[in-house]
């Protein structure tokens, strides 16, 4: 067991806030990030997104079967919504070997990701957002305010989806409304924070 995890246990009382951390961001200005390396070989910052009508930030990773189950849906979403001025950004904060940048780059190429896939080895951006799961979705409005937190949709099995939470939230933003559903539980693999 890692030393980091021991520290986490010994600071167990602090962890109490973690489970509801995601809610803290709802309605507030989204956390920012700076110079995160992407699978495109470039560095990306949240300032690049200032002119977008809406932004979807997806915390995801390579190794998690739930995250993998959503990859095609993310690609389809990015394709459909890019022309509408919506940016989809995937961020990985997992530091296990299968999730690090070289593997991310492989995966992005293999799947043909049509969106930035960024890596934050410091895990800071994940903590700032309160991301707990992969995938864990955050929808930001044109002002950069978090208007939705949760799951991409209501089924891991793509064939059975009936509620498109993220699409609905983005559609609401695009039509100048508040999303009807602004929070759902996320589901997927737990993000392992190292301290």
Partner 1 sequence: MKFFAPRKHQSGASSSMSLSAVLFVTLLVISGCKKEEPNLPPTPVGPDPEVSKLMIGEKKAADPDFKPNDIIPPPPPVAATTPPPKSDSTSAPTVDVKEVDFAGFHKEIEGLKGKIVVIDCWATWCSICKEKFPKFLELKDKYSADANIVFANLANDPADKLSDVKEFLVKSNASFLSFLLDEDPADFAQHFQVNGVPAYLIYSADGELTFKTGKIEELTAKLAELSPPKN
Identified binder of partner 1 from the candidate list 26, 53, 66, 168, rule CB under 8 A: 66
SS3 labels along 3-26? HHHHHHHHCHHHHCCHHHHHHHHC
The answer to whether the beta carbons of residues 144 and 29 sit under 8 Å apart is yes
Q: Between 114 and 182, name the residue whose CB sits nearer to partner 1.
A: 182
Measured distance CA(9)–CA(15) in Å, rounded: 8
The answer to whether the beta carbons of residues 46 and 33 sit under 8 Å apart is yes
CB of 97 to partner 1, least distance (A): 13
CB of 102 to partner 1, least distance (A): 20
Residue 185 sits in the site that holds partner 1 (CB under 8 A): yes
Residue 186 sits in the site that holds partner 1 (CB under 8 A): yes
Measured distance CA(89)–CA(58) in Å, rounded: 6
Nearest to 17 by CA among 145, 130, 180: 130
Identified binder of partner 1 from the candidate list 153, 169, 172, 173, rule CB under 8 A: 153
Stretch that binds partner 1, among 36-44, 54-62, 110-118, 180-188 (CB under 8 A): 180-188
Q: Between 89 and 151, name the residue whose CB sits nearer to partner 1.
A: 151
Residue 102 sits in the site that holds partner 1 (CB under 8 A): no
DSSP, collapsed to helix, strand or coil, labels residue 190 as strand
Identified binder of partner 1 from the candidate list 36, 64, 78, 125, rule CB under 8 A: 64
Number of residues that bind partner 1 (CB under 8 A): 33
Residue 12 sits in the site that holds partner 1 (CB under 8 A): yes
Identified binder of partner 1 from the candidate list 114, 156, 174, 182, rule CB under 8 A: 156
Measured distance CA(195)–CA(8) in Å, rounded: 6
What does the binding site for partner 1 look like in residue numbers (CB under 8 A)?
1, 6, 9-10, 12-13, 15-16, 18-19, 22, 63-66, 132-133, 136, 151, 153-157, 160, 184-190, 192
């Amino acid at each position: 067991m890692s030393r980091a995890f021991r520290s986490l246990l010994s600071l167990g009382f602090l962890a109490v806030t973690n489970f509801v951390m995601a809610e803290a961001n709802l309605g507030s200005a989204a956390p920012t990030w700076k110079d995160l390396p992407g699978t495109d070989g470039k560095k990306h910052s949240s300032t690049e997104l200032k002119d977008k009508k809406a932004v979807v930030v997806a915390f995801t990773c390579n190794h998690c079967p739930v995250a993998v189950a959503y990859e095609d849906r993310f690609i389809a979403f990015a394709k459909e919504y890019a022309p509408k001025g919506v940016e989809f950004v995937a961020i990985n904060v997992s530091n296990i070997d299968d999730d690090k940048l070289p593997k991310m780059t492989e995966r992005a190429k293999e799947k043909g990701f049509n969106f930035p896939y960024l890596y934050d080895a410091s895990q800071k951006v994940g903590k700032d957002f309160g991301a707990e799961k992969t995938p864990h979705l955050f929808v930001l409005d044109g002002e950069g305010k978090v208007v939705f937190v949760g799951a991409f949709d209501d089924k891991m099995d793509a064939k059975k989806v009936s509620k498109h939470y993220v699409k609905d939230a983005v559609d609401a933003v695009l039509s100048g409304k508040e999303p009807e559903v602004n929070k759902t539980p996320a589901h997927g693999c737990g993000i392992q924070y190292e301290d």
